[in-house]
Amino acid sequence: MSEAEKEKIKHFSSFINIVAAGAIVAGSLVPILNVWYGILDPSMNGGGSLDGVAATQAILIYLTGFVICFVLQLLGGLKLSEIE
């Protein structure tokens, strides 16, 4: 494997890891912090509180985003392990 191919693999792996980190911050951490600090109304309709169904949906969305980001991190690591 040439040095150029190794560098391409490193750049691809870094890119995937950066995308995963950005996605988890934007898709999971920020909405949770918004609700936690009261910036965002959890009911999303200007009033009321978060009912059980909406809470379950929010949790599933956050967990799905986390799993996608985790898979992207694994993909970056697997790609990086191709370097001999």
User: Residue 10: which residues within 8 A CB-CB, separation 6 or more?
Assistant: 80, 83
HEC readout, 52-74: HHHHHHHHHHHHHHHHHHHHHHH
Average pLDDT, the chain: 76
Residue 58 binned pLDDT confidence (cut-offs 50, 70, 90)? confident
Structural domain for 40, as ranges:
3-80
Enter the pTM of the model. 0.60
User: Does the structure show a pLDDT above 80 at 3?
Assistant: yes
- The helix (H) or strand (E) run that includes residue 11 is helix 3-24
Higher confidence at residue 76 or residue 53?
76
| Residue range 5-34, pLDDT digits in tens | 888 888 888 888 888 888 877 777 777 777
The domain tally of the chain equals 1
pLDDT of residue 43: 57
CA distances from 40 to 3, 22, 44, 59 (A): 49, 20, 8, 16
